[in-house]
Chain A
Amino acid sequence: MNPNDLHYTKSHEWVRIDGEIGTIGITEHAQKELGEIVYLELPEVGHVYNAEEEFGTVESVKAVSELFTPVSGEVVEVNKRAVGEPGIVNDDSYGDGWLIKLKLSSDEEVGKLMSAQLYTEYVQSEEKAK
């Protein structure tokens, strides 16, 4: 189930807004499609990104996938535990498996993202197109 308090992208990332901080991760659907994640490449604290910019990569045994920021901002924290133990992204993609936290540079971008319901429908339509 995709949590209702998150905002979602078409590239299968989520962001949780808490004041001026946005916590970013990949969705349950994304981790399932990738399979067991063995490697995460994440940016350094201090890096500034525009929305929809590539901020890292996630690799499973079989595949590699780029990560895109749902919103603009400066990296204020990186999930070191996930880098050392990438399997937690599979186990808890909406919790302990978060990736980075951004200090948001705009509060308007979130409105362009999908709600849980829209994202769930989006994934279903993608599945059907296969």
Chain B
Amino acid sequence: MSATAPIALKRTPLYSLHRELGAKIVDFGGWEMPVQYEGILEEHRAVRERAGLFDVSHMGEFELTGPDAFATLQRLTPNDVGKLTDGRCHYSAFLTEAGTFVDDLLVYRLKQDSYMLVVNAGNTPKDFEWARSHSQGQLRLENKSDAYALIAVQGPLAARLVARVADSDPSDLHYYAFRDMKVLGEPALVSRTGYTGEDGFEICVAAEAAEKVFRALLEAGRPEGVVPCGLGARDTLRLEAKMALYGNDIDATVTPWEADLGWIVKMKKGDFLGREALERQKREGVPRKLVGFEMIDRGIARHGYGAMTPAGAGIVTSGTHSPTLGKPIGLALLPSGADAVGIEFDVDIRGHQRRARVVETPFYKRRKDVPA
């Protein structure tokens, strides 16, 4: 029981539709979001075999425009914005001076001097303040989070589904590419991105158009078994694909080296926030690594459970039952030296020591048939 007064939860433009569709609603980072409709396992399966629709409108969107937008983004994020061309986006982060995560995010290059950032819902106010305080020169930074809705269409049928409601077939889009389309006549930014390890798209539309678009996608896909999916399936899907979740696997205590996200750090591009600390950590040695594991003993090792390895203590950052593999899997920050595939360690599952083993990741990998 909490003694604090209830704070008003935020709702996305699709809230009443979720209710109508029978969703079970939970508080997720200050948002009233659907955790599931019919069931997590079935929604998970739908995305792997057919397609699922997710409301991810709780995510934050910032627009950064002006002659100094590029230089500011190069300084704010570790990935090389200079590598982006119009219509391309990439995964990146905001890092502290200590080289740890303020947040992970996507950077979209709309055109030269014009960018969109998509950040985690619960971090939106913090991120906006972070970006504002580190912006320099001639540019405009706007928080467009309330103006936009974001709908993710994920699964092998996603391209076909989007083509039915859009004015152009998205099949030719490369992974991490996007373009402007009309969806049911509404202006939309459609990107080939997602958080499920499956082929898919994220459709950014005006908040007012969200319900119309979501309903149309659902109608168009229903005969083929396309279903609405909640955050429960989103979590099991992203975990099988070993995609990090801010607040679980990464936070302000974890660096990209530790999180196995070194590929978003481009040292050759010049200075950026956190660079010095990351150079130092690389020089001195990375003390721990985020690894995937599966249980040898029975039980699910969940977020926050302690781990004991031959090289010292670690911690489980995410854990669930993998619907695809039919067994418990998870991610853990383990001391360097205990992070190699095959190493066994103990997890404290509510007072019982249970054996686990470091395994190759991702746990699930789809067939690649999308232009890279």
Contact = CB atoms under 8 A, between A and B. Distances in A.
A28 interface: no
B343 to A, nearest CB: 24
B187 interface: no
A106 interface: no
Contacts of A128: none
B264 interface: no
What band does the interface of chain B fall in when counting residues whose beta carbon is under 8 Å from A? 10 to 19
A64 B236 CA distance: 16
Contact of A36 (B41, B302, B328): B41
B232 interface: yes
B298 A62 contact: no
B232 A39 contact: no
Contact of A39 (B36, B41, B321): B321
B40 interface: yes
B328 A39 contact: yes
Interface string A23-66: 00000000000011011010000000000000001011110100
Contacts of A60: 40
A39 B323 CA distance: 12
By secondary structure, the B interface counts as mixed
Interface string B114-143: 000000000000000000000000000000
Given A39-B299, A39-B321, A62 B35 contact: yes
Contacts, number: 36
B321 A38 contact: yes
A92 B68 CA distance: 63
B300 interface: yes
A41 B40 contact: no
A61 B350 contact: no
Given A39-B321, A39-B328, 14 more contacts: A35-B36, A35-B39, A38-B321, A39-B298, A39-B299, A39-B300, A41-B298, A57-B350, A59-B299, A60-B40, A61-B236, A61-B320, A62-B232, A64-B300
9 contacts: A36-B40, A38-B321, A39-B298, A39-B328, A59-B321, A60-B40, A61-B236, A61-B320, A61-B323
Closest 8 CB pairs of A and B: A38-B321, A61-B40, A36-B41, A36-B39, A61-B321, A59-B300, A62-B232, A61-B320
